[in-house]
Amino acid sequence: MDITASQIESIVRSVISSMGSTSARSAGPIPKTARVAMLTGPKKIEVQELPIPELGDDDILVRVEGAGICGTDVHEWKMDPFGLIPVILGHEGTGEVVSLGKNVKCDTAGKPLKVGDKIVTSVTNCGECYTCRMTPGRTNLCDNQGVFGLIGDKRGQAEGNRVNGWFADYMVIKGGYGVTYFEVNDLDLKQRMILELACVCVHALERGQKTGLLNFGSKVLVQGCGPVGLVMITVLRAAGINHIIAVDGNEDRLRVAEKMGAKTTVCFKRPDEDTLEKRVSKVQAVANGVGVDFAYQCTGAPIAAADIYSYIRRGGGMCEMGFFVNNGEYQINPHVAMCNKEIDIVGSWDYSAEDYPKTIAFLKQCREMNIPIEDLITHSFPLDKMNEAMETNVAQKGIKICYINDN
């Protein structure tokens, strides 16, 4: 069969087109500015309009759909302990890809990425510090770890990329070494907004599993039923832990804990559970008369952290994940709390990018097991109500508070 020169040219053009454009790909005109919730002072968020920086070949522009409010966001909003002001917060976000730099072909897990896909960001690591070089499987401990929506981006220009937090209507994922992001088309908006928090708990599950104390027959205690503790309960339930004991002082949250999979609840405000001795007695009664096999401390409250050792049996273990920020110290007797029991203690810090695919699978497992993790999202606010959103979080009204882009 004879093929003309024009037909050859047409075939070549078709092949090149199927391989993807060599220039940026966009869903229509790229917006020039973005509305952002800028933290300008303690307890002061202002809606501002900032220019969207020119996209580079490795960059992604995302139209934000929503973002969870983390306890870290609240700490920064209250008193700027990290010295970030002015900053656009929001690191539990998700949205739709609007434009892709020509070098962006797939996400961090290798899945093809295109305009219109749903996306989330993970942490960044430097690749140069001792931890990155010597223990590359633990990049969560990178000395220079970055997070979109917490750490400003100074690369490329004097002002850098200020539009890098999820509390906005658009945000820029500026590419480069160590930047990680994932396509999440299979998850709905609420699942996507919970994903980052769930990743913290999936990482903590693996830290606990390293002790060898978590199995189908384990009795596991979760102390603190805020968002972290409640998601930790769902992670444990999805992992096959059949008897979870939830400890808190809020009866409403304990009812949610039961909904998420807790079998026993303990409330320090109940008359028959208002002392540590009474609470320990109740826990032991449902934990083979000796105490739990493993415990997760999720409160961030020093007094609670001191109590948790009393619930654990000899030879048991615990994971401390409640002190992401410095909330102070507590006092224990190491002989009684640790040595005489010979308990295994692990800490859990943040997560690594490789925890994201596992967490996506966990959220799908919740769907399979009918664990209603989306019900943890109880309040949502638009961009111009972010101060109110923070106040709602501080007042512990509801459980998980979120920003939803209403534009």
What are the angstrom distances between the C-alpha of 291 and each of 215, 286, 288, 338? 16, 8, 7, 14
Per-residue pLDDT tens digits for 337-346: 999 999 999 9
- Residue at token pair 């994940």: 321
Does the pLDDT at position 23 exceed 90?
no
Dump strand ranges (E) for 69-191: 87-88, 92-100, 118-121, 123-124, 146-147, 170-173, 181-183
- Residue at token pair 């444990």: 236
Strand partners, 44: 41
What are the angstrom distances between the C-alpha of 228 and each of 191, 234, 259, 320, 390? 15, 10, 15, 12, 17
Strand, helix or coil at 114? Answer: coil
Contact at 8 Å (CB) between 145 and 133?
Answer: no
Does the pLDDT at position 1 exceed 90?
no
Banded model confidence at residue 20, pLDDT cuts 50, 70, 90? very low
| d(C-alpha 240, C-alpha 224), whole Å | 20
Largest CA distance in the chain: 92
What is the per-residue pLDDT for 152? 56
Q: Bigger pLDDT: 230 or 303?
A: 230
Q: Which of 127-136, 158-167, 390-399 has the lowest mean pLDDT?
A: 158-167
What is the per-residue pLDDT for 171? 94
% of the chain surpassing 70 pLDDT = 91
What is the per-residue pLDDT for 16? 37
| d(C-alpha 311, C-alpha 401), whole Å | 31
Does the pLDDT at position 27 exceed 80?
no
Following CA atoms 122, 212, 215, 334 in sequence, which dihedral angle do they give, to the nearest 10 degrees? Answer: -90
Does the pLDDT at position 291 exceed 90?
yes
Banded model confidence at residue 146, pLDDT cuts 50, 70, 90? confident
- Residue at token pair 């008359």: 271
pTM recorded for the entire structure: 0.90
Does the pLDDT at position 199 exceed 60?
yes
Span 98-114, average pLDDT? 96
Q: What is the mean pLDDT of the chain?
A: 91
Contact at 8 Å (CB) between 166 and 195?
Answer: no
Banded model confidence at residue 202, pLDDT cuts 50, 70, 90? very high
| d(C-alpha 387, C-alpha 361), whole Å | 34
Supply φ then ψ for residue 254, to 5 degrees: -70, -35
Other C-beta atoms lying within 10 Å of the C-beta of residue 259: 16
What is the per-residue pLDDT for 381? 98
Q: Which of 186-195, 259-268, 317-326 has the lowest mean pLDDT?
A: 317-326
Per-residue pLDDT tens digits for 205-221: 999 999 999 999 999 99
Other C-beta atoms lying within 10 Å of the C-beta of residue 178: 18
Q: Which helix (H) or strand (E) holds 246?
A: strand 243-248
Does the pLDDT at position 321 exceed 60?
yes
Other C-beta atoms lying within 10 Å of the C-beta of residue 18: 7
Contacts of 171 (CB under 8 A, 6+ apart): 34, 61, 62, 64, 88, 93, 95, 148, 163, 164, 165
What is the per-residue pLDDT for 216? 96
Contact at 8 Å (CB) between 350 and 174?
Answer: no
What is the per-residue pLDDT for 84? 85
What is the per-residue pLDDT for 170? 96
Q: Which of 104-113, 142-151, 209-218 has the lowest mean pLDDT?
A: 142-151
Closest CA to 37 of 51, 48, 26: 48
